[in-house]
Structures are given as C-alpha cells and as structure tokens.
Structure 1
Amino acid sequence: MIICPVCDHVQPEGIECDVCGKRFPTTVTATPPVARLPELELTPHAGGRDAVLAPTLPELDETRLRSGPDLPAQVVQDLELTLSGPTADAPTGGLDGLDTGRAPDDGVRTPAPLGAVACRYCRHVQATGLLCDNCGMRMPRARVAQAVVVTGTAEEGEGWMACPTCHTPGRPGRNCNECGARLAEEA
C-alpha cells in the first residue's frame, strides 16, 4: 500500500496520488534474472487454448437432460391439483363489507406551511427563500404564487424577465433571487 506524504491518502498502487495528484518518487530497481529449475516441465505451447482429450468415466451416471423425453409422463395419484371448476354460476360484484381503510373525504385540507420554517438538515430558521441561507439545501415550504405588478413606464419594466423555474421576476444573465436558477441572456 502506498500512503501519500501530502494528504495521507492510502491507495494500493500508482505513480501519483489519486486525491491530490502528488507524484510518488520512483526508484528503478533492476529485476534479478530468474533461473529456470531443471526439474520443471515446460509448457509445450505458448499462449492460447489447446485441445484436451478428456474421455467420460464409464461408471459416471449422466443426469443431464437429453434433447427428447425418453420416458412417458406419469400422473402422481396423491397430488392435489389446484385447478378450479367452472365459475359461471358464481355471483360477481362488489364486496359490501370490504373496508378500504379510507375515511370519507370531508373536503378539509391541511394548509401549506407558510412563514418562518426550520431547515430539516441544519435546523436554521428562516422566513423567506426556497434555499437555506446556512447550508444551501431546499427549504420545506410551499411556494406562494406571487402576482407580478408592473407599475410605471415601459422603460422601467424593460430588462426584467420571469424565472423559468419559479416565475419570479429577475434580470437576464443573473441567478434568480428565490430559487437560484440562471436566467437566460436576452438575444
């Protein structure tokens, strides 16, 4: 194992650190010549596969499936079949006593959380924005649709565009103040 002297990253091999890129010092050592043992048998062919003659053992029972069945199908007398009989006379319809597990709808809905909420990751409490000011994660809040009111002359309203994600007005080429999406440049 190699341990990087800069960042202490442990890796199995390599000439540079996988984390910080520090090049490890290399020492060139000549490999000593390997002497062949005279009593070892050398491989008669170099690389590749060679055909091997492997006859089957006569006392070995072959249990693999053959291409065609060699025995007729037999019926087991004690086997209980699960086939059902004809069901033409069975009554069909809904089950009156079936409990679906749902209460009847009363039309009352839980209101969406508005106002100051706590971030579920860092517990930072914040009143506005879709992203947490502390950790940057998305806040658990429902977005209220804001009505865009343009006042003044046409020259004052020019240069603003709606964000493609949350439809909040913003300047082209900048990030949205609410969701952080990049607003496209005007052509």
Structure 2
Amino acid sequence: MNVMKSLHRWLRAQRGWLVGGVLVGSTVLLWTTWDAWRDYARWRPLRPADVAAGEGGMLGGAEWRLGSVEILDPKDLALGRRVPDDAVVLVAHYAMTPATGADQKLLASCDGRLSDAKGRHWEEYPIELSRLHLGEPRGCVAELSADAGIRSAPPGAPWHFAHAYLVPSDVALGAMPELILPKLQPRYLRFQRR
C-alpha cells in the first residue's frame, strides 16, 4: 500500500514531464513518418470511384466503360506455359472515350487490375498470359509510334481494348475490374459487374 502511495505521489509530481514527453514523442513520430505516408498515398491506389454496372466513369479526361467480362478455361487456350489447375482467365473488355483536349500520354499510362471482396489484387497480363491473343488491343491507346507519338481515338469516339487476368476459379465471379492512371493516384475506377 505504501508503494502505491509513493508511486501516485511521484506520478503527480512528474505529471507535466510525462504529458510533455508523450506530446514530444508523438510529434517526432509524426514528423519522421509524414513523408513516407504521403508517398504511400501518392503511389498507391487508395480511393476507388465505384462505377455502377453498365455505367461509365470519368478519369483523366476520358469516359471509361466496362463492356463485357469473359471467363475462359486456360486449357482451351494455347498459352504455352503451365498454369495452376484451379485458375481461369478473366478477360475484361473496355471502351474509353477521350474528351476534347484529353492528355493522350496520361491515357496511355492506364493500368488494369482485379480485386475481390477480401482486398486481394491481380495485375493484368501476368507472364502466363504473354502469348494470349484476344482480337482486341491490350492497351488504352490506339497507337504508339516513335515518329507520331501517341495517337488515340479522336475525341468523342470510343476506343475498345481488353485486359486479361489469371485468377483462381472461386474468385472469377465476384472479382471487380479496376482501371488506374498512375499520375492520378490515389483515385482510380472500380467497376461493378452484373
């Protein structure tokens, strides 16, 4: 009991120093990690703009729409690589309609990925799908050439392209396609499916 009284007395006497220590410690921790958190938020897609099924979403001066989603059996495709037994190929077909004055280089930098309800992600075109031919371009622009630069669909005209993903079969039905423009992160588009 005597020990408790002396501890209580000591804590009351040192109250100002203890509060000051907590404040200084918190400030130092925030000060030293602020740049890291800011960089994390800048380069990671953190804020999805959900796009309802059948609707379009604006990002980077263009309207992006998810057309259809196909689920293919990798055994029926000539991939030339071994894929896991429980995997399927999910192909998301998109249409991008640039507005007048849209930055073509920004639109050309689009990346696709897939996410599920658990927060897991799959990137587009893993190495196993390097030989997959879909009949549609893989990229978000019509043409990349050294002499002409980047040419895309004219403003108001849609450009159709596809992204393919290799995912576990149990994920394919509920997965949501996402489109990311790296310079506009942390915002990105997440498409709901029917």
**TM-score between both structures, scaled by the size of structure 1:** 0.21
**TM-score between both structures, scaled by the size of structure 2:** 0.21
Instruction: Determine which structure has the larger helix proportion and give its number.
Output: 2
Structure showing greater Rg: 1
Larger RCO, structures 1/2 (Cα 8 Å, 6+ apart):
2
Instruction: Determine which structure has the larger strand proportion and give its number.
Output: 2
